[in-house]
Amino acid sequence: MEYVSALLPPVVMAAFFTGLVVTIVKSQGGPNKAKEDAAVDAAFARAEAARAQGPAPDAPGV
């Protein structure tokens, strides 16, 4: 009977992890995908623009 108590925690963790992966995969795409992609593209564009400009002339320690 000790084998049941020894195997129960890994089985519960495996089931939880499987459910987590399934939830993550199902949440990819869908109606919000375009909005999320646009937000990421905008963030990348801001980062590229800031890097292209270089540091501000009065920015101390940069």
9-27 per-position pLDDT tens digit: 999 999 999 999 999 888 8
Please report whether residue 9 resides in a domain: yes
Is residue 36 within 8 Å of 43, Cβ to Cβ?
no
For 30, the token pair is: 């869908």
Please report whether residue 16 resides in a domain: yes
Please report whether residue 41 resides in a domain: yes
Please report whether residue 58 resides in a domain: no
- Split into its structural domains, the chain has a count of 1
Please report whether residue 43 resides in a domain: yes
Write phi, then psi, for 53 (nearest 5 degrees).
Answer: -75, -30
The domain of 23 spans 2-53
Give residue 56's pLDDT band: very low, low, confident or very high (50, 70, 90): low
Note the pTM of the prediction, 2 decimals.
Answer: 0.47
Please report whether residue 61 resides in a domain: no
